[in-house]
Homo-oligomer: A and B are copies of this chain.
Amino acid sequence: MPAEGEEMRTSEDAGAMPHLAAQLAADVLERLRRQAPRVHCITNAVAQNFTANVLLAAGAVPSMTIAPEEIGRFVASANALLVNLGTFDHERRDAIAIAIEAANKDQVPWVLDPVLIDRAPLRAEFARELVARGPKVVRLNRAEFSVLSGADAKPETLTRYARDRKLVAALSGETDFIADGARLAVIANGHPLMARVTAMGCAGSALTAACLAVESDPWNAGVAALLIFAIAGELAGANAAGPGSFAVAIIDALHRLDAASLIARARVS
């Protein structure tokens, strides 16, 4: 949610959906709470605690080991996997290789979050290799998308990228865009303080993995996750005195979120 000028607009030929998105999000949230899916997260040290608490608040069960001897088994018994490049050490790269192999073998859907590839060419290269391994969703911001795709972030380029790579591209920002090549959702919800708390994007990617665990259509999962998170952010922002209390309040809001709030607040096209 950076306060950058927002150039993206939904295009007429991409799929649009008004109130249905809120209903979908409410359904997915209900399933999260009922099924309590296991979500294995390879994520950076800065994000681990907040990510685990976001997942728990939404109803999912996080695990985070990266030990090579056990990560394969954790992933195989999980319902979804998050691969976040935020800590780019050897240990995590090895863990990622094992985890993706286990996920693909056992049909565990996974999300890629190519954190900061705009500042680290080696990460960008690694992220491109991972895209070829078949993530269901790539969740990123505008700068990261530009580096990953080689194109400016626009609805057309996002849609083309998603179509070519056969994945869902979920772009976070002041407005969120979720494209799968045929459909495009535009989410206008959210709160400026989401950009002032560390690991907020990382946690959004983890929530996307959680939604993927209970919703087989990856585009639906991406839309539900980013809408749930953005509306929790709005609810949190209403009472927060700054980014400290906001980070606490968004966890509370996720825990209390209901269909009525989602339906009343959703601004999706």
A residues apposed to B, CB below 8 Å:
44-50, 52-53, 56-57, 62-67, 69-70, 73-74, 77, 86-91, 116, 119-123, 196-199, 240-245, 247-256
Residues of B within 8 A of A244 (CB): 53, 57, 247-252, 255
* Interchain CB contact under 8 A, B52 and A119: no
* Interchain CB contact under 8 A, B256 and A252: no
Partner of A242, one of B44, B119, B241, B251: B251
Residues of B within 8 A of A46 (CB): 48-49, 52, 64
* Interchain CB contact under 8 A, B120 and A65: yes
Q: How far is the CB of A106 from chain B (nearest CB, A)?
A: 15
A64 to B255: give the CA distance in the assembly, Å: 30
* Interchain CB contact under 8 A, A70 and B88: yes
* Interchain CB contact under 8 A, A251 and B255: no
A229 to B246: give the CA distance in the assembly, Å: 20
A63-B119, A65-B120, A119-B77 in contact; A243/B70 too (CB < 8 A)? no
A87 to B256: give the CA distance in the assembly, Å: 30
23 residue pairs from A and B, CB less than 8 Å apart = A46-B49, A46-B52, A53-B197, A53-B247, A56-B243, A57-B196, A57-B244, A62-B198, A63-B116, A63-B119, A65-B87, A66-B87, A70-B88, A70-B120, A74-B120, A242-B252, A242-B255, A244-B249, A244-B250, A244-B251, A244-B252, A245-B251, A248-B248
